[in-house]
Structure 1
Amino acid sequence: MEALVVHVPMESHKLIVGNKSNNATRDSKRPVPLTGGCRIKGFVCVKKVLGYLVSSAHLESHSFDPSQMNISHVISHLSFDKKISLRLLAEVKRITPYLGGSIDRLNGRQYIKRHGEQTNVTIEHYLQIVKTELISRRSRCYYNLFKEYVYTTYSSLGESTYILVAKFHF
C-alpha cells in the first residue's frame, strides 16, 4: 500500500494569500501523480456526542465509476484524546493486562479490496469509546496514573451504489 502513496511536498499545503493571479495559475496546473492513492493525516476536535468521520473520493467537476473505485486503506494511528507515552503504556500494560488490548485497536490494520472481489464496496468501522481511568494508591495517597479514551471496534463491508467511503461511526 505504501508503494501506491505519493509523497506530497509541503509547498502544496501553503494557502494562497494576497495576489492570487500568478500563484493560482501555477498551483492549479500541477501534473497528476502517476500512481493512485492518497494519504490523509490530521486531527478532528469533536464534542462528546455521537458522530462519524467519512473519507471519500469525489469532486464536483468529475464523474467517477463506483465499480472502478477502490477505497482500501491502512490505519496507521487512530486515537482519542492525547497520545500516551510508551513508558506509561508499558506501565499500564504491566498493571492491567486487559486494558492494553483495548488501546489503539485499529493501529496498523489493513482493509484491502483485491481486484476481482466485490465492487462498490464501502467499509464502515463502528467504534464504542469508553473513558478509562487508572488510579494508583501509594501509601495513603491516591493519584491518577492514567486517563485514556479506549475503544472497541467492529468493521464491516457493504455494497453501495453511491459514492464509496471509509466511514468511522463513534
Structure 2
Amino acid sequence: MMESLVAPIPMEYNRLALEGTHENSTDNAKRPAPLTGGCRIEGYVRVKKVPGNLIFAARSGAHSFDASQMNMSHVISHLSFGIKISPKKMSDAKRLIPYLGRSHDRLNGRSFINHRAIDANVTVEHYLQIVKTEVVTGSGSREHKLIEEYEYTAHSSLAKSVYIPVAKFHFELSPMQVLITENSKSFSHFITNICAIIGGVFTVAGILDSILHNTIRIMKKVELGKNF
C-alpha cells in the first residue's frame, strides 16, 4: 500500500519542529528514513484568488527519469484552503449550522493508488471547485464574523501522460459566496406570530363548527322525510 512508502512521522515531532524546540535537549532523534521510494510533502502555498494549478512532479537538471517506471500514487492526509480553523471554533459554528465544514477538507484521508493495472505514464488529476463561506452573528454594531472558511468539491480522474506523469490539483474559486447571518427577532414580532396562530385556530374552529352544524341539520331533515 501507498502508506508504507514513507515511515510515519509523529505529530508531536512536527509541533516541536515548528516551535523550534525539542522535548529533550539531549534527544537527537531524526525523522525515520523511508522504507521504499517515495516522499512526504507538507506545507502551505499562497495563491491568488484566480484559477490555477498545483503540480507535483519530478524535476532535476542533473538527472534523467524513466517515465514508464514512475508511479504518482499518493495519499492526501490533509488539504484545505484559507486560514486553519481551530476545532473549538468549528464546533461553535456547527452548533448554529450543523452542516458547516462537511466539505472543508473533503480529500482528507483519501488514497489514489495506481496498481499498474491501467498503464504506465499515468497522471492523477484533481479538479477542485472552491466556495467561500462566512458566518456572521449579531447585527449593527454587534456584528461579529464567527468563522470564514473555504469549502470545495473534488472530482478526480486519471489521464495518460505524454511526458513525465504528475499529480495535478486544478483549483477554481467560485465567484459566488455563501453568507450565513443570524438575525434576532423582536418581541413585537413574537406577539404578532402568537396572534396569527390564535386567529388561525379560531378560523379553523369556525369552519369545522359550520360544517358540523350543517351536517346535523341535513341529517335531521332526512330523518323527518322532508324534501330539500
TM-score by length of 1: 0.76
In structure 2, what residue type is equivalent to 1:65? D
Unaligned 5+ segments in structure 2 are 10-32, 172-228
CA deviation profile, 1:142-167 (whole Å, cap 9, x unmatched): 32111112211111111112111001
Shift of 1:86: 0.8
The aligned length equals 147
Larger-gyration structure (1/2): 2
Task: From the superposition, tell whether residues 116 and 2 of structure 1 become closer, same or farther in structure 2 (CA, over 3 Å).
Answer: same
Counterpart Cα distance in 1 of 2:157 and 2:34: 30
Percent same amino acid at aligned positions? 58
In structure 1, the partner of 2:72 is 71
Q: Which has the higher helix share?
A: 2
Unaligned 5+ segments in structure 1 are 9-31
In structure 1, the partner of 2:143 is 142
Structure with greater contact order relative to length (CA < 8 Å, sep ≥ 6)? 1
Counterpart Cα distance in 2 of 1:68 and 1:142: 57
Shift of 1:5: 1.2
CA RMSD between the two structures: 2.5
In structure 2, the partner of 1:89 is 90
In structure 1, what residue type is equivalent to 2:133? T
CA deviation profile, 1:111-168 (whole Å, cap 9, x unmatched): 1111333221101111111111011238x93321111122111111111121110011
- Secondary structure of 2:75's counterpart equals strand
- Secondary structure of 1:131's counterpart equals strand
Asked if residue 119 in structure 1 is aligned to residue 120 in structure 2, the reply is yes
- Secondary structure of 2:68's counterpart equals helix
In structure 2, the partner of 1:110 is 111
TM-score by length of 2: 0.58
Counterpart Cα distance in 2 of 1:121 and 1:149: 30
In structure 2, the partner of 1:165 is 166
